[in-house]
Amino acid sequence: MLVPTLLVLFFCLRGRAGLSPHFLQQPEDLVVLLGDEARLPCALGAYWGLVQWTKDGLALGGERDLPGWSRYWISGNAVSGQHDLHIRPVELEDQALYECQATQAGLRSRPAQLHVLGSSSDPRSTPTVPPEAPQVLGGPSVSLVAGIPANLTCRSRGDARPTPELLWFRDGVRLDGATFHQTLLKEGTTGSVESILSLTPSSHDDGATLVCRARSQAMPAGKDTAVTLSLQYPPVVTLSAEPQTVQEGEKVTFRCQATAQPPVTGYRWAKGGSPVLGARGPMLVVVADASFLTAPVSCEVSNAVGSANRSTALDVQFGPILQAKPKPVSVDLGNDAFFTCVWRGNPLPRVTWTRRGDAQVLASGPTLRLPAVGPEDAGDYVCKAEPGLSGLGGGAAEARLTVNAPPVVTALHSAPAFLRGPARLQCLVFASPAPEAVVWSWDDGFLAAGSRGRFLVETFPAPEGRGGQGPGLISVLHISGTQESDFSRGFNCSARNRLGEGGTRVSLGRRDLLPMVRIVAGVAAVAMTLLMIITGVVLCCWRHSKASFSNQKNLVRIPGSSDASSSRGHEEEETGNGEDQGPIVHTDHSDLVLDEEGALEAKDPTNGYYKVRGVSVSLSLGEAPGGGLFLPPSSPLGPPGTPTFYDFNPHLGMVPACRLYRARAGYLTTPHPRAFTSYIKPTSFGPPDLAPSTPPFPYAAFPTPSHPRLQTHV
């Protein structure tokens, strides 16, 4: 029997030789009732040596049955390292501190206090007192602030025997992290016992119930006290936008939702950190533009505890917007030139580069590179972005490339000069960088500025030339009192800058005086000839007009002839026969006057006493048979053969015209027609001889005039 046991120990020791002895289980404080059995556990690993128990420092022995201690023994499998101490029945003297020791390994367990509870009738026993219900400070409802660490204190008072332990539970699950404290009173008795639970609550802990339990061997089930957590927390904010992706110019609605305890007291909206004026509620409506892509909208909600902020950015689609214009570039001949143009858009715009006036695309993207530029590369370059999906935005920007090169000098046209007269020579200079000086030189001298003898130099800015040529200058060389040598020599105009020199030759043309005199004399002779011809024509016309008008009469034919359709030839025959004509009746018409324009103006002979509407007679200075004025048919007032013409020349006083107007359709119209009143005053002549059948009143013999304007009303 001994041999198999030793073999087992040998193999176990060999298999575990690499492990050091250690405790697998140690005894703990234990409270038992008087007369019951007490068991203190002890388990060792990687140890097969001697194990013994001590009571208040006294060794009980190394055998399993502990001889000398009739109520004590060690149980468990020694091979597996189990060495539990049993005491039965427990007596009051068994109350002590017990340790489990591995002597050969030098290991000692922590002390375990054995408490023996006896009956109150036994004067040797310690009386058992169950614990009272614990008290949670601030309960039954504890107000906490979310996110801020807090302590919950559970306290047990009274003369509980043995001392109770305080445990924390939530939803039946024991909570860790509690700190246990005991307050000892005089004479070694235990006072209050308290347990402090440290926690950092969140908003989700609002309304949670925690339980503090006080238990002991006198009351294993323990007594509980519950406390409810009332959480105050700042607002929990949720911010949304509808729609999240929009076109520029569309409306967007932001909604700010929040839960808070205590309730929300205010909202504050901001865009890109700047407050949105007038926005106070949980909703904000805006019109989206490009700025919302980079400037998020935020909503801040506040209550009595604190505030919370949430922000969101919109996906705003907008057309290209120019952010950085290309800048003018000036580079030396043969170097590379770079242009940069920045457009912003959503989606990202396509940018192309062209030369102004040329549709060829030179590059795509924000940068244009022109390698080894020459004079032909100077000009304006255009950076262009097409409009976006909405049709908005886009455009073009341009910048000028100036190629720095030696000056380009060109001779300008100079007018020929007279000998010993003033002269002026000009040259045009384009250069970048600007020329240091423009110098005029000739055979025996040079001049850059100011005056020297007969020579004076002035410089003026030139109109802008071809793009990229640089600033232009016009240099003028003035010569006072030209000499023969000035027309045969050459004048040089040259300019220099840091890249080189350029120049041109300018010659002075000569103008002779004799050809100029001949030209002026010829022009004067032609002008005099034309003036004489025009004067002769005018005098001839005037003499002819005066002679023609002196032989004519201004006559008026009194209407009354029924033969209104008589031909002109017949009238000429009547008036041309001098034998049939009677004496012309002269009547005083001093009441016919001319207005400011030369037309006839009729005067009212009654001076307004009677409202007289005179007979309207149309006059025209036309050519009539017999040299007078052609008027309507003859009046029936006179006998047959009485002339039907009346001479108005003494009264009209009209200036004869160069050409007279002819009569038309029996009536004449003046160049400026006017109606006038014909009023015949009595004359010194006797009444005319009337035919036997003529009525006593001559007015009754007037036929109704055919012309609607020939009416007389008194």
Which pLDDT tens digit goes with each residue over 495-509? Answer: 999 888 999 999 999
Kindly give, in sequence order, each residue whose CB lies less than 8 Å from that of residue 422, ignoring residues fewer than 6 positions away: 478, 479, 480, 481, 482
The full 3-state SS of 1-43, as one line of letters, equals: CHHHHHHHHHHHHHHCCCCCCEEEECCCCEEEECCCCEEECCE
Q: Are 251 and 286 in contact (CB under 8 A)?
A: yes
Query: Which pLDDT score is estimated for 464?
Result: 66
* Helix H or strand E encompassing 527: helix 514-549
**Alpha carbon distance, N-terminus to C-terminus of the chain:** 183
Phi-psi region of 98 (alpha: psi -120 to 50; beta: other; left: phi over 0): beta
Q: Are 428 and 409 in contact (CB under 8 A)?
A: yes
Which of 63-77, 457-471, 638-652 is the most confident on average? 63-77
Long-range pairs, 5-10, Cβ under 8 A, ≥24:
8/79, 9/48, 9/79
In whole angstroms, give the CA distance from residue 677 to residue 674.
Answer: 10
Domains of the chain: 22-117 (2.60.40.10), 127-313 (2.60.40.10), 319-403 (2.60.40.10), 413-507 (2.60.40.10)
In whole angstroms, give the CA distance from residue 23 to residue 92.
Answer: 29
pTM, two decimals, is 0.41
Mean pLDDT across 270-287: 91
Tell me, rounded to whole angstroms, the distance of Cα 144 from its chain centroid.
Answer: 50
Residues 104-129: tens digit of each pLDDT:
888 999 999 988 876 545 555 556 67
Residues 375-397: tens digit of each pLDDT:
889 999 999 998 876 667 788 99
In whole angstroms, give the CA distance from residue 319 to residue 390.
Answer: 7
Residues 528-566: tens digit of each pLDDT:
999 999 998 888 888 877 766 555 544 444 444 344 333
Mean pLDDT across 617-638: 42
Comparing CA positions, the residue from 185, 20, 177 lying closest to residue 104 is 20
Residues 6-51: tens digit of each pLDDT:
444 544 544 444 589 999 999 998 888 888 899 999 999 989 889 9
Q: Are 495 and 409 in contact (CB under 8 A)?
A: yes
Question: Which residues on neighbouring strands pair with residue 175, listed in sequence order?
Answer: none
Sorting pLDDT into bands at 50, 70 and 90, what band is 84?
Answer: very high
Sheet containing 315-324, strands listed edge to edge, beginning at the edge strand earlier in sequence: 245-247, 315-324, 342-346
Give per-residue burial for 373-388: e unless 16+ CB within 10 Å, then b: beeebbbebbbbbeeb
Question: Which residues on neighbouring strands pair with residue 330, listed in sequence order?
Answer: 402
